[in-house]
Structure 1
């Protein structure tokens, strides 16, 4: 089990690997998706440091970052012909829903709030990685083995 003090390093390592893969192997949608996820993660970290995040009350700064990322993902989802933006947007919508739950029921424990809000970043990144892997670049079409 990974100690909680190392979780940010694990997450940011995973973020960099997936976003790097999306930029190296993907196309426009993957570039934009990687940028949204990377910028959202960095902005969340900055907001948490600047405003101090105890996850024991409503986190309006992080909610603002999450809403902007959600709008950007919805834009990519609407314009894309790929499946991964649908999944990534749905996962991020769940993260935003955690903020709404905290507003409705502020007695939610800080651990549940922080875990629920942060958990959905992993499936989002996984959707981007799988979608990037499934994308066939035009220059690779002639190199696909048959049979």
Structure 2
């Protein structure tokens, strides 16, 4: 979320400098809050990891870096891929599969900078941003399904 899965502030922008980044951060907070309030354990883990990565990416972002690999963000995104892969392995839910696939796209976008394929910077951030919003949508849908399952069972 970030102009990246955890950060709406990459690409030379301060986190809340633009209206788009403010709206994106608000969407991220709302969806993760929904997951914490209405989701089961897998949704809470996914949302918690997302928010932690969001905050970590804010701490490590380098707004002056226009070229090359941002190794710290790559590390955060790789850890997130591991967290989501563990959710796929440990749960029987569908949404972690989608999140893991989208997070793989984000990590592979970083890999493009390592192998020196030079996509336009705007394309790089567009891929990461869209995949990040896809992660949020998948978490929201998974949370909604978990909540509705509990409602149908009369637990809520």
- How far is the alpha carbon of 1:44 from its aligned partner? 1.1
Q: Please say which structure displays the higher CA radius of gyration.
A: 1
Q: What is the rounded CA distance, in whole Å, between the counterparts of 2:86 and 2:155 in structure 1?
A: 32
Greater relative contact order (CA < 8 Å, ≥ 6 in sequence): 2
The partner residue of 1:54 within 61, 65, 74 is 65
SS of the equivalent of 2:140 reads helix
* Match runs of 1:2-17 below 5 Å: 5-17=18-30
Gaps of 5+ in 2: 1-16
Q: Deviations over 1:112-141 (max 9, x none)?
A: 222222321100000000111111454651
Distance in 2 (CA, whole Å) between partners of 1:142 and 1:28 is: 18
With the length of structure 1 as denominator, give the TM-score of the two structures.
0.85
Cα distance, 1:107 vs structure 2: 2.4
2:107 corresponds to: 96
User: Matches of 1:108 and 1:52 in 2, distance apart?
Assistant: 18
- Counterpart pick for 1:33 among 43, 46, 64: 46
TM-score scaled by length of structure 2: 0.80
How many residue pairs get aligned? The number is: 139
Cα drift, residue 15 of structure 1: 0.7
1:87-120 CA deviation, whole Å, 9 max, x = no partner? 1111111111101112223422222222222321
Distance in 2 of aligned mates of 1:137 and 1:43: 33
**Cα RMSD for the two superposed structures:** 2.1
Question: Could you tell me which residue of structure 2 aligns to residue 142 of structure 1?
Answer: 154
Structure with greater helix share of residues: 1
2:80 maps to 1:69: yes
Task: Note the residue ranges of structure 1 that are not aligned, 5 or more in a row.
Answer: none
CA contact (8 A) 2:32 2:47 kept: yes
